[in-house]
């Protein structure tokens, strides 16, 4: 396609992505635009092939977006966010690789299985690390609360004042 006709091709792609007009209607208008510029019209079969490739790409992009946006719901805070997103993306790519219809050697299948196993293992390590960090933080917070309550009691502060202190300094209570 000549450089001076690229803007018309971009227009056609945008129209296809909007999904408000038929492919045939877009092709007719595209070919009219090209004719004005002295460019050979695009055949229906070539336009259809391009439209099919664009649709497949759009679906893959939408699927990836859905996976990424839904990851936090799937992990429920058990996995580190970045590890979960990367792991799920890699698993989706592995699934796509396996389902592409090509014959794979036993060595390739073993490598794919090993990659999948490594991803799951990495996610487990990430989840274990996060749980340990959260447990440590909870233990420190409990010690801090106990220390504040002990000091407040020794100082003869009321329960209301102690609650106010915990709320102001630790963000708990009230």
pLDDT at 120: 76
Provide the 10 A C-beta neighbour count for residue 78: 15
In eight-state DSSP terms, residue 43 is: P
Q: Kindly give, in sequence order, each residue whose CB lies less than 8 Å from that of residue 44, ignoring residues fewer than 6 positions away.
A: 24, 27
- pLDDT of res. 66: 67
Q: In the chain, what are the domain boundaries?
A: 1-70
pTM for this prediction: 0.40
pLDDT score, position 65: 65
What's the pLDDT tens digit per position in 120-167?
Answer: 777 777 778 778 888 888 888 888 888 888 888 888 888 888 888 778
pLDDT tens-digit map of 65-103: 666 555 445 444 545 666 666 777 777 777 777 676 677
Determine the angle formed by the axes of helices 81-98 and 44-75, rounding to 10 degrees: 140
CA 150 to chain centre: 47
pLDDT at 8 over 70: yes
Contacts 24+ apart (CB under 8 A), 30-35: 33/5, 33/8, 34/5, 34/8
Element (H, E) at 46: helix 44-75
The yes-or-no verdict on residue 13 having pLDDT over 80 is: yes
């Amino acid at each position: 396609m000549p450089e001076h006709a690229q803007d018309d091709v971009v227009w056609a792609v945008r129209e296809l992505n909007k999904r408000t007009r038929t492919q045939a209607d877009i092709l007719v208008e595209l070919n009219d635009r090209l004719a004005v510029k002295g460019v050979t019209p695009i055949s229906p079969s070539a336009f259809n092939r391009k439209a099919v490739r664009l649709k497949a790409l759009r679906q893959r992009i939408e699927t990836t977006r859905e996976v990424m946006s839904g990851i936090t719901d799937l992990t429920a805070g058990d996995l580190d966010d970045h590890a979960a997103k990367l792991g799920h993306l890699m698993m989706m790519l592995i699934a796509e690789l396996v389902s592409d219809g090509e014959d794979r050697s036993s060595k390739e299948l073993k490598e794919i299985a090993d990659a999948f196993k490594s991803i799951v293992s990495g996610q487990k390590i990430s989840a274990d690390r996060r749980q340990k960090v959260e447990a440590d933080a909870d233990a420190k917070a409990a010690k801090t609360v106990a220390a504040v309550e002990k000091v407040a009691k020794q100082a003869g502060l009321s329960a209301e004042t102690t609650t106010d202190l915990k709320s102001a300094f630790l963000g708990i209570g009230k």
